[in-house]
Amino acid sequence: MEYFHSVRLYPERCKACVNCIKHCPTEAIRIRGGVAKITESRCIDCGECIRHCPNRAKTAITDTLEDIRQFQYNIALPAPSLYAQFDPDVPVEAILAGLLNLGFDDVYEVAEGAEIVSAAVKDYLRRPDIRRPAISSACPAVIRLVQVKFPELIGHIIPVAAPVEVAARIARAERSAQLGLAPENIGTWFITPCPAKMTAVRQPLGMEKSHVSGAIGISKIYPELLKNLPKVLQNAPPRRATWAGVGWAISGGEVAAVGEVPLPIMVDGIHAVSQMLEQVSLGKLHNVDYIEAQACAGGCIGGPLTVENRFAAEYAMRQRLRRIADEDRSRGVRPRAKYREEDVGLAERRAIEPRPVLRLDEDILRAMDKVELMEETLRRLPGLDCGACGSPNCKALAEDIVQGSASETDCMFKLRERVRDLAHEMFDLAQKLPPSLNKAAEGEGKDPDGK
């Protein structure tokens, strides 16, 4: 299978520092030949390697403003986390107007899609026949983590499209009807905080094709957007999303928007999510109703394609949310509660297939033999998980050895043992002489009388 990945490697920048292999949640990276190698089938585009690479050898490929020219009409889909990149005194309306000034023909807030998804999730959680805990489908990196590392939990994922897909579908349909344009002539562009969203556009899970035309990283668009913010709000598009949708930008915002969840869990940060999913897999959280899981620390405001410090962004967003909530109350505006099943993707939702990345062999008997060999190899390794071998830990090295992509002497401690043994053997050999020159062996072969 061919994979698309937004996360890419610049080999010439890589210094083989092993930071990336130690932080990858799916052990998708190895250091071989002095350069990092990404295993495509294991990569979930969470961006952890981008965060932790001191040499900027990892990057994320997203679309650009130039790409919107391929469509006759273009709609910007700003993520709620985009608002957190600006001072709370900058109104949402100004940010939306700034996007129009960049060349988009219209804007549709993804926060509106989040409100619709919140209503659909609330109804879904009322069903008695669902598998609990139900896992949010909003974060594509989390969905791919389940697909790769916890395939037994795929049935727990809520079969509702992500807010950006809902927003793109509705925006395109509305503008197509209003303008008389064919849907294929309307581009929908997500302003994304993370590379996983770009991957979800190019290679979606749970649907045949994404309703989003492309994704442009916040960090890529921010400098120009900052320069194009209007000084006055005359003719600026109004904010239509309420506090409920905008709050999806931060951890806990999703649960707050869904509301009425008796036993929810909110977890952010891909490693914390992985630990939580492991507990679900072990059956320890069966009483939990709903899990809001976000790959980035703090939620989408902590995405690797954002520009503001995560803590500063969270502070700014909480201030903004208070102001929006006050405005909504004063205007008597409430979050959207009605939706159509086709808008949230229930009608077209497909089963997510597990990704067989840990398969040792196609033949079950050979695979079992390899498991035994891997365990035997692991017992011989030091168990220090230092990463100096180029694999993230000793267990991963044992797997690599069995698969033929590494050798036991890649471990520096095993290599030292081997060198030491060779040194002793060479020393012993150096003490030996041929029988013709070995005077110490001169008396050998004689009887006691010297005959």
Closest Cα to residue 378, out of 363, 393, 359? Answer: 393
Peptide bond preceding 133: is omega within 30 degrees of 0, i.e. cis? yes
CB 60 within 8 A of CB 304: yes
Helix (H, G, I), strand (E, B) or coil at 407: coil
CB 82 within 8 A of CB 218: yes
pTM of the predicted structure, to 2 decimals: 0.89
The tokens describing 36, both together, are 């990092």
Polymer length in residues for the chain: 451
- Quote the CA–CA distance of 107 and 236 in Å, as a whole number: 11
- Quote the CA–CA distance of 198 and 190 in Å, as a whole number: 9
Stretch(es) of the chain classified as CATH 3.30.70.20: 7-60
- Quote the CA–CA distance of 220 and 62 in Å, as a whole number: 8
CB 64 within 8 A of CB 214: no
Question: What is the structure's pLDDT at 440?
Answer: 62
- Quote the CA–CA distance of 315 and 125 in Å, as a whole number: 31
CATH tag, 7-60: 3.30.70.20
pLDDT tens over the chain, length 451 residues: 789 999 999 999 999 999 999 999 999 999 999 999 999 999 999 999 999 999 999 999 999 999 999 999 999 999 999 999 999 999 999 999 999 999 999 999 999 999 999 999 999 999 999 999 999 999 999 999 999 999 999 999 999 999 999 999 999 999 999 999 999 999 999 999 999 999 999 999 988 899 999 999 999 999 999 999 998 888 899 999 999 999 999 999 999 999 988 889 999 999 999 999 999 999 999 889 999 999 999 999 999 999 999 999 999 999 999 999 999 999 999 998 888 888 887 767 778 888 866 667 777 788 788 888 989 999 999 999 988 899 999 999 999 998 888 989 999 888 888 899 889 888 888 877 777 766 665 555 555 555 5
CB 54 within 8 A of CB 19: yes
Closest Cα to residue 186, out of 201, 176, 174? Answer: 176
364-431 CATH pick, 3.10.129.10, 3.40.50.960, 1.10.15.40, 3.30.70.1560: 1.10.15.40
Q: What are phi and psi of 296, to 5 degrees?
A: -95, 140
CB 221 within 8 A of CB 102: yes
Stretch(es) of the chain classified as CATH 1.10.15.40: 364-431
- Quote the CA–CA distance of 128 and 377 in Å, as a whole number: 47
Question: What is the structure's pLDDT at 347?
Answer: 63
Burial 110-141 (b: 16+ CB within 10 A, else e): bbbbbbbbbbbbbebbeeeeeebbbbbbbbbb
